[in-house]
Amino acid sequence: MAFALEFFLRRISQGVLIVLAVAFVIFTLLRIAPGDPIRIILGPMATPSAMEETAERLGLRDPIPMQFLRYLGDIAKGDFGNSFIRGKQGGTTGGSQDAAGSPPVERAPVIELIAKALPYTLLLAACGFLLACLVSIPLGIMAGVKNSGWPQKVALYLSSLLVSLPNVWVGIVLIYLLSARTGWLPAIGYQHIGYVIIPAIVVAVELAPVMIRSISVAVATNVQDPFYEIGQVRGLSARTMLFRHVLRNAAVPLLNSFGAQMIGMLLGGLFVVEYIFSFPGIGLLTINAVFQRDFPVIQTVAIFASTVLVFINIAVDFASTTIDRRLKF
């Protein structure tokens, strides 16, 4: 199919360019931010000469574009660099305790840190998303089909309520109610699957209102389209029209808002939720990395996140054009 081939050729090449641009922006941002990474690696006790020597060895005194090109070269070889702080055995090593001791080579490779954290994040994301779907898909469809009645009211009030709850606060309240006070569920850290429940609820609370709203709007728009009523006059049942035709049409704007809005939201939500619950995923890794000025970790996570976003968007656009042949990309 020529169209699909051209679509992917064009979009993937564009996507690679976008990821490169994002990588460069983040890379530059981190290099011009205040705080000398050498001081972080070697700790406060390091001598100026040792610092200069390490900087030379790591290439931190070269112009930024050159550093960036070298970085890209390393990535091409599968090397995303090593953490400034974290040791291979896990745990933080940077700072004073082994000031002149371990050379950066013995610090943990970023890619390993990410590989270790990623499954937790995926688990949390999947649970949260599933939970949000469970509530919002039935409610959104019911609210969209009829322009009045209780599903519409419930959808409006519930989504207005949920969207008004800051996730940090919801997290604390749930910890207090479900864990600290009653002891029903575990909350902080991760030991077994039970630890994912409360964080997943918080993620779902953030996603659900957006999903309810977009589903009901998308369904309502298509129910108003003439083909829905005419289909019933043509002899098809309202059920068939809804499930075979309206939902199919509604999928296009939904996929769009999923790619443009919800994936970004989900990622952001995961970061915050992991931080609140000390959940050992990518988000916690990144936030700690920021406070510790662990640049290699930050830039790798940023590049990963934008790659995921870019490619999910390509997939979403392809799915949309397959459903609705009128669309062009």
Residues 255-274 within binding reach of another protein (CB under 8 A): 260-261, 264, 267-268, 271-272
Touching another protein, residues 200-219 (CB under 8 A): 217
**3 state SS of 82:** strand
Q: Is 14 in the site for another protein (CB under 8 A)?
A: yes
**99 binding another protein? (CB under 8 A):** no
Return the structure tokens found at 174: 């749930």
318 binds another protein (CB under 8 A): no
Indicate the residue among 95 and 102 with the shorter CB distance to another protein. Answer: 95
CB of 161 to another protein, least distance (A): 6
The phi, psi pair for 109, rounded to 5°, reads -65, 140
Asked if 285 and 113 count as a contact pair (C-beta separation under 8 A), the reply is yes
Asked whether position 47 contacts another protein by CB under 8 A, the answer is no
> Is residue 66 close enough to count as binding another protein by CB under 8 A?
no
Query: Smallest distance, Å, CB 316 to another protein?
Result: 13
CA-to-CA distance for 315 and 325, rounded, in angstroms? 15
Helix axes 110-145, 263-277, angle to 10 degrees: 120
Considering only 111, 118, 137, 245, the residue that binds another protein (CB under 8 A) is 245
Cα-Cα end-to-end distance for the chain: 16
Residue 82 backbone dihedrals phi, psi, to 5 degrees: -115, 155
- CB nearer another protein, residue 66 or residue 323: 323
163 touches 212 (CB < 8 A): no
# of chain residues touching another protein (CB under 8 A) = 81
- Cα 262 to its chain centre, rounded Å, is 9
- Does 89 contact another protein by CB under 8 A? no
Rounded Cα gap, residues 137 and 134, in angstroms: 6
Q: Looking only at residues 295 through 314 of this chain, which bind another protein when binding is defined by CB under 8 A?
A: 298, 301-302, 305-306, 309-310, 313
In 3D space, the residue among 26, 25, 16 whose CA is nearest the CA of residue 295 turns out to be 26
Q: Looking at beta carbons only, is 61 or 244 nearer to another protein?
A: 244
Residue 192 lies near another protein (rule: CB under 8 A): no
17 forms part of the interface with another protein (CB under 8 A):
yes
**Which 131-190 positions form the footprint of another protein (CB under 8 A)?**
156, 159-161, 163-169, 172-173, 175-176, 180-181
d(CA 91, CA 107): 10
Q: Which is nearer to another protein, 102 or 221 (CB)?
A: 221
